Amino acid sequence: MRVVVTGGAGFIGSHVTDAFLARGDDLAVIDDLSAGHLGRLDDRVSLHKVSVTDADSLNEVIGAIKPELICHLAAQIDVRASVGHPAADAQANVIGTINVLEAARGVDARVLLCSTGGALYGRDAPIPSLEDVLPLPESPYGIAKHCAEQYVGLYNRLHQASHTVLRLANVYGPRQDPSGESGVVPIFCSQILGGIRPTIFGDGRQTRDLVYVGDAVAAFIAAADQHMPGTWNIGTGVEVSVIELANVIGDVTGNPVEPLFAPARPGELQRSALAVERARRDLGWQAKTGLADGIRAVCQWIEAGTPDRAPA
């Protein structure tokens, strides 16, 4: 199968690219490298340095490759950046998605949209949150992702397409930047391994659904093979508090954790976990990696010097 991965040099995108490549698919990556790393890509993968916001260039590349499937992971993913610059966030996450859908329509390709679960459902959603819950995002990022999903649904109705949406929980794993502003797992792992006390904002009881990147990638493969339009949550269904996460990292590393506490961040979601029964039923997918095992893989990657080509 000919597959294009937008954002394929990113954290999750590079793992998705590797997975399709490993099973023999014909792979190309579209990435403007504004956040992606060239070193994450296998030498066999062709890279097209194009932004999904550039419709003309995107159409030219997609028209030349004629993929059967486009995994769309190119996005602006920083929630705080979306608050400060909502128009730029919408340009990347809404207009970029429309451009991908239009390019796909020109070559009759399916699109598999990488969306979000944690930023979508909102503070009043039941836990774990079902796909049928009305999204009430708390950030421009969540709003933009919800809007992108609506365009996917529209193209399925308007153009009889078979596009798919995967709402990912909080994905973590090797290749996620431990010096970044987001990605609590690698940040905490790096700090604890280095003997630095991690900072917890608020009381530490806020929860997240933490899914290992290898499991998230398996969901992309499953959705690609099912050819089913629709929306599926991809997570563990388990709430993990920030305090609990820090303690697990301490156990894995053998370093006792004494966190520092700082004031809660305004608007931070207090609880998040995704209901995953639908993905198990329809896609035959479920998360298999336990939290301690996933954290161990992240710690080993950090101790190895955070290589770009670390396995999932």
Quick: pLDDT tens for 256-280: 999 999 998 876 788 999 999 999 9
Q: Domains in the chain, start-ordered, CATH in brackets?
A: 2-172+211-236+274-287 (3.40.50.720)
- Residue 214's pLDDT is 98
Active site residues: 141
Mean pLDDT lowest among 67-76, 117-126, 217-226? 117-126
Question: Which residues in 49-81 are b (16+ Cβ under 10 Å) and which e?
Answer: ebbbbebebbbebbeebebbbbbbbbbbbbbeb
pLDDT tier for residue 309 given thresholds of 50, 70 and 90: confident
CA distance 75 to 285: 24
Pick the closest to residue 78 from 42, 119, 135 (CA basis): 119
CA 92 to CA 253: how far, in whole Å?
38
- 147, 94 Cβ separation under 8 angstroms: yes
pLDDT of residue 151: 98
Of the pLDDT bands very low, low, confident and very high (cuts 50, 70, 90), residue 311 is: confident
- Give the pLDDT confidence of 144-170 residue by residue, as tens digits: 999 999 999 999 999 999 999 999 999
Angle at 214 between CA 202 and CA 273, to 5 degrees: 35
* Segment among 58-67, 115-124, 194-203 with least mean pLDDT: 115-124
In the block, which residue shows the tokens 């093979």?
225
pLDDT in tens, 174-210: 999 998 767 999 999 999 999 999 999 999 999 999 9
Strand ranges (E), the chain: 2-6, 26-30, 46-48, 69-72, 110-116, 164-168, 170-172, 199-201, 207-208, 210-212, 230-234, 240-241, 260-262
Tell me if 40 sits within 8 A of 309, measured CB to CB. yes
pTM (2 decimals)?
A: 0.96
Instruction: List the beta bridge partners of residue 26.
Output: 2
Task: List the one residue out of 196, 192, 282 whose CA is nearest residue 245.
Answer: 192
Could you tell me if residue 261 is left (phi over 0), alpha (psi between -120 and 50 degrees) or otherwise beta? beta
